[in-house]
Structure 1
């Protein structure tokens, strides 16, 4: 249903088709449709107004972050704007994660990070794509904070960029550079060297943003192009 709203280009505040029309469109019963609408309402995607109808909310600011995740898992890629904005937020979270990891990491956490580093080396040796291992390292680092909310937030960020991250690490040199930085991060966390770990993460993420800029620079932004097209009508 989310993909349908997006594809049809409904504007924020616009009234959506009636429950009956939507049920017919998706070939479902009214009860099933109401459950779906209830979920979308909880995510702040739609708003039901008594004696008026169902309206689309401003998804860019009113809806839950989980809405982006749901859309991605349904096959709708986040826009370039959304990816760039998530990078800004993720940077702050990753910096906090490495600080907490230095303070709270256990030997088991270090073992997990070390095993991922070994797996990354094996993939690189076969000239493979380390997207999965790169994600695993960052999630394992987040788990080393022993802050479940932080882990869940970062996990969501990685879920919405999964396909683009695979494209990002298609370049073996980029993968090798990221892997080398992970190894230095691991050593700093192992030694609880907060200053070095923080500086290393700052450098690591700054280079990641540069890489993302290269990848996104080659893509068209459907959201931006759509707005431009509507403006010329």
Structure 2
């Protein structure tokens, strides 16, 4: 799921970023009121239509609340906003907090286990072909000493597609969008890419054999590797995360 779906244009994304930056700089708390559309347009030097579009997007993601005849109010992000809002904020330069990263890993691990269970049960020959194609593309990138973050995302998307559950695809796609910047950092070290690729091969073998228990165990180990790394690295996001609106 791409943030382009929510913002429409690059200019729309820029105005959303300005609104979120304003909220963070002012440290606005849930329930506090934002300036009017007109005031925000003047402050940002953009048209009111652009501000209205940005606010409508943020309202749909439950970041703000638009109250007729009253104004624009900040919502409680942790309790009231959508997961897509977290993805959007990250893409606009407001990275997840340490707690959000850890909790994201917990939820994603559970969803990935469900995905491989269903993939072992439902996969078709075309799914195996798609997974094999990603493995071969990854071979090429690794042989050139490259970063396999994009191929890693493609692999997991192909795996979830093999589960033949459209809702699971949508949910996990949002997780992959959120974690892509961090995975680029992770796979900047070539040996990590090679190790992950070896695990991907074993996972595909399990799906091909419909070996559900083995596949789940392999996925658990795969996710634990990433979780262990990010437990060590979480502190690196703290300064930027401190600017996040609450």
TM-score by length of 2: 0.84
2:138 is matched with which residue: 120, 127, 148?
120
Give runs of aligned pairs for residues 63-82 of structure 1, distance below 5 A: 63-82=81-100
8 A contact 2:147–2:187 mirrored in 1:
yes
Find the counterpart in structure 1 of residue 115 from structure 2. 97
Q: In the alignment, what sits opposite 2:169?
A: 151
User: 1 CA distance for matches of 2:119 and 2:161?
Assistant: 8
* 2:192 counterpart residue number: 174
Aligned length: 227
Q: 2:38 aligns with which of 12, 20, 32?
A: 20
Equivalent in the alignment of 2:14: none
Mapping of residues 1-233 of structure 1, within 5 Å: 1-223=19-241
Q: What's the RMSD between the two structures over aligned residues? A: 2.1
1:191-233, Cα deviation, whole Å (9 max, x unpaired): 0011111111111111111122223244434445989xxxxxx
Distance 1:162 1:7 in 2: 26
Q: Deviations over 1:132-160 (max 9, x none)?
A: 11111111100111111111111111111
Q: Distance in 2 between matches of 1:41 and 1:166?
A: 30
TM-score by length of 1: 0.89
Moved more, 73-82 or 185-194: 73-82
> How many Å separate the matches in 1 of 2:169 and 2:25?
32
The 1:11–1:139 alpha-carbon spacing in structure 2 relative to 1, beyond 3 Å, is same
Unpaired runs of at least 5, structure 2: 1-18
Query: Alpha-carbon deviation of 1:75?
Result: 2.9
* DSSP-derived class of the 1:61 partner: helix
**Deviation at residue 29 of structure 1 after TM alignment:** 3.4
Q: Which structure has more RCO (C-alpha within 8 Å, separation ≥ 6)?
A: 2
Q: Is the 8 A contact 1:15 1:55 kept in 2?
A: yes
Q: Secondary structure at the match of 1:129?
A: coil
1:36 Cα offset (Å): 2.8
